[in-house]
Structure 1
Amino acid sequence: MEPILLAFLTGFILAQAIRLAKNHNIPIETHYTALLYISAAFYWLNFLNDWGYSTIGIALFITLGAWVGDMPGWLLCAPVVPAKQEEKCFRTAEVDECREVVKSGTPAGEAKNAIPGLEARARPNQRLKVAFGVDSCFTSSDERACKSFRDGVEKLLYVDEAEWINYGDAARATARQALDVESDSTSLFSVVQLMTLKTMMKVLWPDQFFEHITNEQISTLAHEVNLQWLRSKEGSDNSDDPFWNFDKQTPFKDAVKTVFPDWDETDSKKNPCNLILPGYETMWRVVLRCFVEVQLKESFFEADVPVTAAHIAKEALRLYPPTRRIYREYHDAAGQKTNVSADIEAMQRDPVIWGDHPKLFLPDRWIDIAEGYDHGFMPFGAKPFNCPAKRWKNVPMPFGISMIALLVGALIEATQGKWTIHGNFPDKTHPLDTDREAYGDATLQRL
């Protein structure tokens, strides 16, 4: 019986040693593990065959010992949870550091990023690829593909004044339709989401006719995009195949397919979300907060100062940037990874840059600021990754500022003297909450 026990203990001890090595982060490749077991088996086969034991019997007892040895609960192999290596992180709100983060992903005081700028941007955005099935400049490090995507977007955004009149007509009509309800109360979220997405559909798909698509279907898509964004950000499932994987979100995919029935699901480059995310998802929250600020603090219209729609839109972009933080990935020469972020919201509220009351919505601060000013103002990113919506030179109208002003103006016109806002808003001495779900219960109440 003793030789059989020795075979069993051999398998047991080998399994224990391998388990301990792995628990303490000592790398043991699978083929080396197999080699250990095979070597032990051959040794005992040679030795025990002389004792008259069968080859199969010896192999079985070594295997049995290994199986028992790999079970949790034994003194030697009790799970030792290795200390998880903390990911290095760097966040800054300092202007020059923010620019460098956006440009190359390089933190302050570090050598130049070992990975290219496009790749430093694309890596943190892979979540978008999983959640929305997109393949765009935000998720790709292919320089040619990124240039092609950007060129296509610029052609859509840089249009003449006549087209802007059409956008205005569309926004006004949508605002009236959204408020044409029997109830004396309606969701502010829903109205703003519908207006923003439907108007941006006219911009981004100018040759496509959506007359057969109802406002309800567009609202459903807008709502599903928002829900999917929140699901992907909550961080409770970071597996390789999370529950919020695009392919698993049937209601979301159905909403996309309803509004874009010709969408080929197998072609990620033609996914409508490639344009919906930067064109709608990043804009509607700015429109919402700008509208609320105007409704709550109309006093700047009464002041004897020439405040314009552009000033109001810029102040909304300053206080409530579309992207609160811009993320990059940094690798040093040794390959050590650091998660890097530029805190745009904090930078744009810095009293050193913006003087008194940097957290208050004061559009008149822009009266004496020159066009194109960007020191501490980066709602559309920074070179070389400026959003096309930022451009103000050699274009009929700067798209981002103009579209926010247009949508807010259309909603003010539709509600003026007819509807008022209700919600848990802060007093006039504090900014609005910038959490993505904040004011989800805010309503427009009929007067």
Structure 2
Amino acid sequence: MTLAHVAALLGGVVLSEAVRLLNHYGYYSNLSKLFEKRAELVVCILMGYFTSKICEESSSMIASIMLHVVFAGYGVFVDGLLRSTQVLPNLQSEHQSACFRTANVAECREIIKSGTGPAAPKNTLSALEARARPNQRLKLAFGIHSCFTSSDEKSCRNFRASVEKLLYVDEKEWVNFAAVARETAKEALDGDNGDTASLFGVVQLLTLKTMLRVLWPDRDPKQSTNEQISALAHGVNMQWLRSKEANDSDDPSWLFDKQTSLKDAVKAVFPDWVEANSNENLCNLILPGYETMWRVVLRCFVEVKARNHKQAGGWENVLKSFSKEPTKQKLEAELTQSDPRVAAVHVAKEALRLYPPTRRIYREHRDADDQKPNVSADVEAMQRDSDVWKEQPDIFKPERWIGKEEGYDQGYMPFGARPFNCPAKRWRNVPMPFGLSMIALLVGTLIEVTDAKWEIHGDFSDKEEPLDTDREAHGAAFLQRKSS
């Protein structure tokens, strides 16, 4: 065997591994089925080797020509492979194509855990792969590389550890978060807006600027203006909406590389951002930290301030009390003057129940025949299921949480479920449970700043029904300064 033959054999193996890795990380290849069958690949390599060996014994010239043909063939395969792997997946709007959806508690837990729906054969994909594959839209739309888009166990573990380090901070750091939130809310309302301000704009700025303090504690807050942060908040939201559009093109208009305005907004807030480094993409943290948060804050604020609930006065008081003194004790402290005795944590839990940050959690299921439908855990429907939430499940009612355990009969998954619980969920062995505390802090701060000075206007439905959870719903709502 000559060195050239060895090189040809190694080249075939390397090519096979390249295809496997490309598919593993979410790219798609028309040649993948061929190279996934290693036996066929070995046969092809051996046939090429023996053919060249026979030709070498009969004629060195023919052997040389055959060797060039073999390498030319490899070149064709490599070229075809590179071209085919650049084809983007045909992403359908809201993952509706061939998607099984359920709101059953047990089925939702199993889908989140393994991507396996009821009566379906065991998923041949790993749990990480089942999660990463439906999220490739985020990779294309925002250029992110995180545990949501990657199935690499080590990188996912490292990403989670880095996030936990940022979220699980001492109570004294929460005082700093509260100061940023209060200053931001006042600036948003008492700036140059006049007597009206967009509710979307205020909540988005309040949420993103506070989360910037959480996620980048060493960042100089003076390096960007509120206008620049608002532009980034708006840009992220609009890009999310664009990426939800049906895509029948191999080159959709919403690819991150084409979003000049969004990238400019990122650079305005983070001047040192290096676009080429996907691991350092700011959207890796902005999406889970901001995009999933602000919509819950907005709807919780509307429920408390604008829907004429009988108990709303008590909710306002506990939220304001917590925003002024953000401690774990204050989060759980029940209002003694009211009956029932509600706490800020109950209000935040109810906001997450009725308006979960992720309405549906998607997984990809692949069976032995390589059929790959998506499956979905309908978290929103599950958390409004009357079989679990027997007391007026469609009504915002924080009092339902008094004396209840966190899982409430296991039908409560705003932070996902094992083994993919969001780090923001953790309650035990941390100074403050981040998700609940941040929602209570932001809503309480907004109530505190607007109290007796601003009133909310918008087309909100009857309080007997949940607020519209469409991403663009209530975009016309606004705050108006009360006349003195």
TM bucket (normalised to shorter chain) is 0.7 to 0.9
Any idea what SS the aligned residue of 2:100 has?
strand
Any idea what SS the aligned residue of 2:480 has?
strand
C-alpha separation in 1, matches of 2:284 and 2:406: 30
Q: 1:99 aligns to what?
A: 109
Q: 1:224 aligns to what?
A: 235
C-alpha separation in 2, matches of 1:372 and 1:396: 20
Which residue, 422, 426, 429 being the options, matches 2:464?
Answer: 429
Q: For residue 103 of structure 2, what is the amino acid of its counterpart? A: A
Which residue, 451, 455, 462 being the options, matches 1:420?
Answer: 455
1:134 equivalenced with 2:169 (yes/no): no
Number of aligned residues = 362
Q: For residue 353 of structure 2, what is the amino acid of its counterpart? A: R
Any idea what SS the aligned residue of 1:247 has?
helix
C-alpha separation in 1, matches of 2:409 and 2:291: 23
Equivalent residue runs for 1:28-177 within 5 Å: 87-177=97-187
Q: 1:31 aligns to what?
A: none
C-alpha separation in 2, matches of 1:353 and 1:368: 16
**Aligned CA distance change for structure 1 residues 87 and 258 (closer, same or farther; 3 Å):** closer
Contact 1:104 1:117 in 2 (8 A): yes
Any idea what SS the aligned residue of 1:178 has?
helix
Any idea what SS the aligned residue of 1:164 has?
helix
Contact 1:187 1:444 in 2 (8 A): yes
Gaps of 5+ in 2: 1-95, 315-337
Q: 1:243 aligns to what?
A: 253
Instruction: Give 1:374 shift.
Output: 6.4
Contact 2:388 2:409 in 1 (8 A): no
Equivalent residue runs for 1:334-413 within 5 Å: 334-371=369-406, 373=408, 375-413=410-448
C-alpha separation in 2, matches of 1:338 and 1:114: 12
Instruction: Give 1:196 shift.
Output: 0.2
Contact 2:208 2:229 in 1 (8 A): yes
Aligned residues: CA RMSD: 1.4
Contact 1:372 1:392 in 2 (8 A): no
**Aligned CA distance change for structure 1 residues 263 and 238 (closer, same or farther; 3 Å):** farther
Q: 2:367 aligns to what?
A: 332
Q: 1:184 aligns to what?
A: 195
**Residues 397-406 or 289-298, more deviating:** 289-298
Instruction: Give 1:212 shift.
Output: 2.3
Contact 2:235 2:265 in 1 (8 A): yes
Detail structure 1 runs of 4+ shifted over 3 Å in the superposition: 371-374
C-alpha separation in 1, matches of 2:379 and 2:405: 20
Instruction: Give 1:289 shift.
Output: 0.1
Q: TM-score, normalised by structure 2?
A: 0.73
Which residue, 285, 296, 304 being the options, matches 2:295?
Answer: 285
Instruction: Give 1:333 shift.
Output: 1.2
Q: For residue 242 of structure 1, what is the amino acid of its counterpart? A: P
1:211 equivalenced with 2:222 (yes/no): yes
C-alpha separation in 2, matches of 1:322 and 1:221: 20
C-alpha separation in 2, matches of 1:238 and 1:351: 39
Contact 1:87 1:337 in 2 (8 A): no
Greater gyration radius: 1
1:304 equivalenced with 2:314 (yes/no): no
Instruction: Give 1:429 shift.
Output: 1.2
C-alpha separation in 1, matches of 2:133 and 2:438: 30
1:201 equivalenced with 2:206 (yes/no): no
C-alpha separation in 2, matches of 1:164 and 1:298: 29
Q: For residue 223 of structure 1, what is the amino acid of its counterpart? A: H
C-alpha separation in 2, matches of 1:155 and 1:372: 25
C-alpha separation in 2, matches of 1:90 and 1:213: 44
C-alpha separation in 1, matches of 2:407 and 2:385: 19
Q: 2:349 aligns to what?
A: 314
Instruction: Give 1:298 shift.
Output: 4.7
Identity of aligned residues (%): 68
Instruction: Give 1:247 shift.
Output: 0.6
C-alpha separation in 1, matches of 2:243 and 2:97: 20
Contact 2:111 2:377 in 1 (8 A): yes
Q: For residue 418 of structure 1, what is the amino acid of its counterpart? A: K
Any idea what SS the aligned residue of 1:218 has?
helix
Gaps of 5+ in 1: 1-85
1:265 equivalenced with 2:275 (yes/no): yes
Q: TM-score, normalised by structure 1?
A: 0.79
**Aligned CA distance change for structure 1 residues 104 and 126 (closer, same or farther; 3 Å):** same
Any idea what SS the aligned residue of 2:261 has?
helix
Q: 1:276 aligns to what?
A: 286
Contact 2:309 2:463 in 1 (8 A): no
Q: For residue 365 of structure 2, what is the amino acid of its counterpart? A: Y
Instruction: Give 1:371 shift.
Output: 4.0
C-alpha separation in 2, matches of 1:381 and 1:261: 34
C-alpha separation in 2, matches of 1:268 and 1:99: 31
Any idea what SS the aligned residue of 1:286 has?
helix
Instruction: Give 1:210 shift.
Output: 2.2
C-alpha separation in 2, matches of 1:332 and 1:371: 35
Q: For residue 105 of structure 1, what is the amino acid of its counterpart? A: G
Post-superposition Cα deviations, 1:341-378, rounded to whole Å, max 9, x if no partner, equal 00000000001101021000000000020245561100
C-alpha separation in 2, matches of 1:132 and 1:238: 19
